[in-house]
Chain A
Amino acid sequence: MKELLEILENNARATPEEIGKMLGRKVSLVKNDIKNLEKNGVILKYKTIINKELLREEDSSVRALIEVKVVPQKNLGFDHIAERIYQFPEVTSCYLMSGTYDLLIIVEGKNLQKVSNFVAEKLSPMENIRGTVTHFILKKYKEDGDILKQPNKSKRPAITL
């Protein structure tokens, strides 16, 4: 099962037929495995990784990492405030952290202005939020294991014994 996930994590478009061949497993069984993984939520969904660095200006976006300090609530801890924050579509990631702040969120917006507005108008005024520090991302080199650069052409000679 782990290997099936390894294949799909790397290529969501691998078909059950191909996966069956790679793992020496019947196609019907592979289909069944995938269905089960989808049903119990291990496979959440299939996405495309887009290198936004290469998009035209009008299609591009900016991202910021925002450190958020919050006041935990009685009986609810951080979960309740986290939920209020991650419901915003602008928030692409949200983590509870150890260390000097509590939540780390990643916010995406069309431009600097939009992200700043989100912080100023939505995030900071929120009840129980003690403070935020915003770091804009200037350049992305690697994301979720993928290097955002065209790989070098293979330098191997075409035939070696």
Chain B
Amino acid sequence: MTMVGAHGHAPYITVSIIMNKKNIISRTVQDLPPSGIRVFFDLVIGMKDVISLGVGEPDFVTPWNIRETAIYAIEQGYTSYTSNKGLIELRQEISRYLKRRYGLDYDPEEEILITVGVSEGFDLAVRALTDHGDKLLIPEPSYVAYGPITSLCGGQPLYLKSDPAAGFKVSAGQIERNTDKKTKGLILNYPNNPTGASYSKKELLDIAKVIERHDLIMISDEIYCDLTYDFDHTPFPTLPRMKERTVYLNGFSKSFAMTGWRIAYACGPKDIIAAMTKIHQYTMLCASVISQMAAREALKNSDRAVQEMKREYRRRREFIISRLNEIGLSCHKPEGAFYAFPSIKDTGLSSLTFAQELLKREKVAAVPGTAFGPMGEGYLRMSYATSYENLKEAMARIERFVARIKPTT
């Protein structure tokens, strides 16, 4: 799930423009937390010849068979709306795919909705499930959209600190301790952006028990599922009695390198999917038919390409983690996604200062951990979705940078 941070809407900029025309912008939007690292992003965009470890999307282009299918779809005149829920052929293909991969049973007619990216699926789920004052638990650091979307829906985000010592995971006990009568559910993203952490089946079973005991809903963002390196990925709805409590969000962006196609899907109990579809038909109507045709091809014929990309990411992971630890930026080995999340605490610098100085002195861009919430302080997100040559050079530059700042601290 990618949100283009550099081009995203920044509410606080708008506010300054309408200063003397009071309250044109809604209170709710004005109250949304501004992105504190906007300035840093602008700095990166304005700089040339930067090696970027700041990118939250694959460096591969979409496999050719998928692109070719889209071209053919256009030639054949697939240019109209589809049904609100999406092409039935695609929903059937998703249903078959989930069955084949994970043994999941979702009815393509009533339990699957095609969305415009997991971003939309997430928005729909929160809107469909949240009443004013409802609390949603969000492990932090987390992807940037979860909290603000919850607030937009009148809900209350409640952040749980994912423990660095536990590989940036939250525990079942932690979820339980923070649950009260107003808690509606939990948002879990695994493998995680920005930490790369993922959960084993055993850890998920513990969480599932708490979900059941407190009658919670699970919004499970599993967009990075195919990039799980050390164990088999366990989708949350495969756990006992969890299918009826889970909105399962997944898509094509990361597995098939299709970020720009904006195509994803949500699966869940039919009443939740019906509620989400209601909102979807008023806001989005349907996802792009061309992307839907391409997505169908992706599920049918791209297993090999997905496996090749995964192997490549895994090699880069081993390389970058081992290099970062050599350099003295201690870094746990993330179980999935394509992010390393090293600690820079030993340098004595804040995340933002470290990132700014690294950019200015060595022209390497990485994202300050604080972009993903205050609990990211002391960390940097480094994406290894870039070529091996870039990674090698970036690590050499970071090594030089760290060696130079050490004596002064």
Contact = CB atoms under 8 A, between A and B. Distances in A.
Contacts, number: 65
Nearest to A24: B318
Interface string A1-44: 00100110001000000100111100000000000000000000
A105 B42 CA distance: 57
Nearest to A6: B311
Contacts of B371: 161
A5 to B, nearest CB: 12
A113 interface: no
A159 B59 contact: no
B54 A158 contact: yes
B6 interface: yes
B280 interface: no
Contact of A156 (B50, B55, B323): B55
Contact of B323 (A21, A154, A157, A160): A21
Given A21-B322, A21-B323, A158 B315 contact: no
Interface string A117-161: 000000000000000000000000000000000000010111111
B52 A159 contact: yes
B4 interface: yes
Contact of A160 (B5, B311, B322): B5
A159 B57 contact: no
A160 B55 contact: yes
Interface in B1-56: 2-7, 41, 44-45, 50, 52, 54-56
Contacts of B52: 158-159
A23 B367 contact: no
Interface string B53-81: 01111010000000000000000000000
A161 B366 CA distance: 11
Interface residues of B, number: 32
Nearest to A159: B54
Contact of A157 (B6, B311, B316, B367): B6
B365 A159 contact: yes
A6 B388 CA distance: 14
B319 A18 contact: yes
B309 interface: no
A7 B319 CA distance: 13
A154 B49 CA distance: 12
Contacts of B3: 160-161
Max chain A C-beta neighbours (<10 A), residue from B3, B7, B52, B371: B52
Contacts of A160: 2-6, 54-57
A160 B254 CA distance: 13
Nearest to A22: B315
B4 A157 contact: yes
Contacts of A18: 319, 392
A93 B319 CA distance: 37
B367 A161 contact: yes
Contacts of B56: 160-161
A18 B395 CA distance: 13
A159 B318 contact: no
Nearest to B143: A161
Contact of A159 (B6, B193, B315): B6
B88 interface: no
Given A22-B316, A22-B318, A159 B41 contact: yes
A161 B55 CA distance: 7
B318 A158 contact: no
A154 B56 CA distance: 14
A157 B3 CA distance: 11
A21 B318 contact: yes
Nearest to A14: B388
B311 A159 contact: no
A146 B284 CA distance: 41
B355 to A, nearest CB: 10
Contacts of A159: 5-6, 41, 44-45, 52, 54-55, 365, 367
B136 to A, nearest CB: 19
The 8 closest A-B pairs by CB, nearest first: A159-B54, A22-B315, A161-B5, A158-B52, A160-B56, A21-B319, A24-B318, A21-B322
Interface of B: 2-7, 41, 44-45, 50, 52, 54-57, 59, 143-144, 193, 311, 315-316, 318-319, 322-323, 365, 367, 371-372, 388, 392
Given A18-B392, A160-B57, 15 more contacts: A21-B323, A23-B318, A24-B318, A158-B55, A158-B365, A159-B5, A159-B44, A159-B52, A159-B54, A159-B367, A160-B54, A160-B55, A161-B5, A161-B143, A161-B144
6 contacts: A6-B311, A22-B318, A22-B319, A158-B55, A159-B41, A160-B6
